[in-house]
A and B are shown apart, each in its own frame.
Chain A
Amino acid sequence: MTTPVLELRGAARVHGSGTTAVHALRGVDLQVAAGELVAVMGPSGSGKSTLLAIAGGLDTATSGEVLVEGVPLSGLDGSGLAQLRRRAVGYVFQELNLLPALTAVENVALPLELDGTRARDARTAALRVLDELGMSGLAGRFPDDLSGGEQQRVAIARALVGERRLVLADEPTGALDSVTGEGVLELLRGRCDAGAACVLVTHEARLAGWADRVVFLRDGLVVDEARAEVLA
């Protein structure tokens, strides 16, 4: 069997201790294979964002295990985790966090440069992704000169640059209108179809409709799953 790109084994996250302990995640098992888009839905406080943070090494499970491409995150030290976050994992958040002083292509190239890639190579890779997302004409623009939808696509390009195998997206369509939001999902879907694994946290069922599987969380536990039917 192929190693899943992401695997959670009984992953739990407790904040605080004793009587005031908050169980954000209570032992979640989840596997996401290459090429798969998995959506996570659930009410506020059900553990969706915690699951995503733990999956990407931004937060640590208090028990259980998280593996990215078969590597247990608990076995990595600070620099190992940082390297994983720069190279293998791409994040898309509702807050775009684009740097206003950098152009679109510079924003996209930044993670590669931080990881030691030569500036010229990083720029070439960034331009390639922007081109793939139909954004090459906007590469030289600053974030303030881009529409909300364009900024979101730049943020996605930044999450995808350098062939990330795992893309984690938390409410990635934010306040975008429905058609632009759908475009964002099409991009993520396309990336999965090209071999990436993607976990999408959303409260919008319409967006979850793009996923191969939809996992439902309640009170920190997986309570159900919807699998897409294969069309005849």
Chain B
Amino acid sequence: MSVKHGLLALLCEGPRYGYELKSAFEARTGTTWPLNVGQVYTTLARLERDGLVARDGEDPEGHALYRVTATGTREVEDWWSQAVEREAPPRDELAIKLALAVGLPGVDARDVLQRQRTATVRALQTHTRKKKALPAGDTAASLVLDALVFAAEAEVRWLDHCEARLSRARNGAR
């Protein structure tokens, strides 16, 4: 998750102070990825060092405001124009667990699959309930929850696929 680009994109709407950025980020992403305010200020310091943001005086309450610089604006434009790079898959505990479960005596891989399926569907139910509870018209937050819903659905489909493969293997089919 690029907090750096998230904050820069928000600053393109106008100058803001740290806590304001934290709140705006969380409101826009449906509080799915909470930021701590320390993380926001650390990121702002780095962005300032790199010339992507600059201090922009204070608001009437004395909060230090930040604005995006021309370099920062170009950085955000680049971000929008590029696809998000997916890194090499991290070591996936679930995939490893299933791989080990297959063929190990005393472990029923189908039960391992089912426990995971139940847990993932339960997570899906929670995402769906959160989505249903959103105020009408909150498209931004809804999109973020959709991302979680579709990721969970993909996992269930993969589990279904694994189970079908296991059944075939068990029945001796190719």
Contacts and interface: CB of A to CB of B under 8 A. Distances in A.
Interface of A: 41, 43, 189, 203-206, 208-211, 214, 216, 218, 223-229, 231
Given A189-B132, A224-B117, 4 more contacts: A205-B153, A208-B121, A208-B124, A223-B114
A214 B125 CA distance: 9
Nearest to B167: A43
A203 B122 CA distance: 15
Interface of B: 110, 114-115, 117-122, 124-130, 132-133, 149-150, 152-153, 156-157, 160, 163-164, 167
A231 B129 contact: yes
Contacts of A216: 114, 117-118
A231 B133 contact: yes
Please list the 4 inter-chain residue pairs (A to B) with the smallest Cβ-Cβ separation, ordered nearest first: A209-B124, A209-B128, A205-B156, A228-B125
B9 to A, nearest CB: 25
Contact of B164 (A43, A211, A214): A43
Majority-rule SS of A interface residues? mixed
Contacts of B132: 189, 210
Contact of A210 (B115, B117, B128, B156): B128
Given A43-B163, A231-B130, A209 B118 contact: no
Nearest to B125: A228
Contacts of B152: 205-206, 209
A218 B124 CA distance: 21
A205 B124 contact: yes
B114 A229 contact: no
A211 B157 CA distance: 18
Nearest to A214: B121
A211 B121 CA distance: 10
Contact of A226 (B122, B129, B164, B167): B122
B173 to A, nearest CB: 14
B32 to A, nearest CB: 14
Given A43-B164, A223-B114, A209 B130 contact: no
